[in-house]
């Protein structure tokens, strides 16, 4: 099923029947992806006054309660409200859902005891390309990323300079296969978040950061159309399902 999308006065064709899903699903199991020192998410039959919401236990429907934190347990997209005193909702910030995106793969650099994505790497990967979104896949790219337990492990992150570069490059939507663009323990500075959303200048209210993606190795670096959808929840962050579509001649 082919569709034509017009972007910057140019027509692109994509095959809607060939989506490339780069999200990580939430399972509610012990090995569910996790960060920020929380217990695993829970997906459990609702129980009340003798009622158990499970057909196999006599109920007429399956009726589950779900407990989770989007920042800790699932692919999620966040807006500037993640770090601002004033409440802002990603459901209100994200009003367009298709973007021309560049998928780049970078080998992590060592910076002291940290593993980082640097400005220099992103400059090389993007070159002169103009994109609204960037999808960053880090190496090594193991399937274990989908089940990683990141708490107290000092995961990789992007440098502040790298995020300033992306902002100045015009990147509005940043997607990474990491739990955060910032260092796990940085005394609450969140310098990268602040740099990307430009909190010391004109706040980029429509810009988003998506974390906890997973890009399989079979998907090659290059230009794609990105469909970025979030669950309609009024919160600074919401579970999301980013999907890439290859461009066709």
Quick: pLDDT tens for 172-227. 999 999 999 999 999 999 999 999 999 999 999 999 999 999 999 999 999 999 99
Torsion of CA 175, 213, 39, 143, to 10 degrees: -150
Neighbours of 108 (CB within 10 A): 17
Query: How far apart are the C-alpha atoms of 28 and 240, rounded to whole Å?
Result: 16
The pLDDT, as a whole number, for residue 9 is 79
Which residues sit opposite 13 in a β-bridge? 4, 248
pLDDT of residue 58: 95
Token code pair at residue 226: 């990105």
Long-range contacts of 67-72 (CB under 8 A, 24+ apart): 67/41, 67/42, 68/26, 68/41, 68/42, 69/36, 69/38, 69/41, 70/235, 70/237, 70/238, 70/239, 71/35, 71/36, 71/211, 71/237, 72/34, 72/35, 72/36, 72/38, 72/41
Return the higher-pLDDT residue of 1 and 196: 196
The secondary structure of residue 177, as a DSSP letter, is S
Whole-number Å distance between alpha carbons of 217 and 52 = 42
Model confidence band, residue 134 (pLDDT cutoffs 50, 70, 90):
very high
Q: How far apart are CA 247 and CA 167, in angstroms?
A: 25
Domain boundaries, the chain: 2-25+75-248, 26-73
User: How far apart, in whole angstroms, are the C-alpha atoms of residue 21 and residue 143?
Assistant: 14
Please say whether the beta carbons of 79 and 248 come within 8 A. Answer: no
What is the rounded radius of gyration, in angstroms, for the C-alpha atoms of the chain? 19
CA distance 92 to 85: 17
Q: Residue 151 has what pLDDT? A: 98
Q: CATH for 2-25+75-248?
A: 3.50.30.50
Compute CA distances 203 → 103, 176, 181, 191, 198, whole Å: 26, 21, 18, 14, 5
The pLDDT score that the predictor gives to residue 5 is 78
Reported as a single tens digit per residue, the pLDDT across 31-86 is 999 999 999 999 999 999 999 999 999 999 999 999 999 999 999 999 999 999 99
What is the reported pLDDT for 139?
Answer: 98
Q: What is the mean pLDDT of the chain?
A: 96
Q: Supply the pLDDT for residue 194.
A: 98
Paired with 238 in beta bridges are 77
């Amino acid at each position: 099923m082919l569709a034509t999308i017009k972007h910057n006065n140019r027509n692109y064709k994509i095959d809607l029947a060939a989506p490339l899903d780069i999200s990580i699903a939430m399972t509610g199991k012990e090995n569910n992806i996790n960060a920020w020192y929380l217990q695993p998410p829970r997906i459990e039959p609702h129980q009340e006054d003798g009622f158990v919401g499970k057909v196999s236990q006599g109920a007429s429907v399956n009726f589950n309660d779900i407990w989770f934190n989007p920042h800790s347990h699932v692919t999620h997209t966040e807006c500037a409200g993640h770090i601002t005193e004033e409440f802002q909702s990603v459901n209100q910030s994200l009003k367009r859902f298709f973007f021309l995106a560049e998928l780049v793969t970078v080998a992590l650099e060592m910076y002291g005891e940290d593993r980082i994505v640097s400005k220099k790497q992103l400059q090389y990967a993007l070159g002169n390309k103009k994109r609204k979104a960037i999808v960053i896949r880090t190496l090594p790219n193991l399937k274990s990323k989908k089940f990683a337990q990141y708490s107290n492990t000092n995961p990789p992150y992007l440098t502040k300079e790298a995020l300033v570069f992306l902002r100045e490059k015009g990147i509005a939507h940043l997607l990474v296969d990491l739990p955060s663009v910032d260092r796990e323990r940085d005394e609450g500075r969140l310098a990268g978040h602040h740099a990307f959303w430009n909190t010391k200048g004109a706040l980029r209210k429509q810009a988003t950061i998506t974390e906890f993606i997973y890009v399989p190795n079979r998907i090659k670096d290059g230009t794609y159309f990105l469909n970025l959808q979030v669950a309609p929840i009024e919160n600074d962050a919401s579970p999301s399902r980013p999907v890439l579509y290859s461009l066709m001649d």
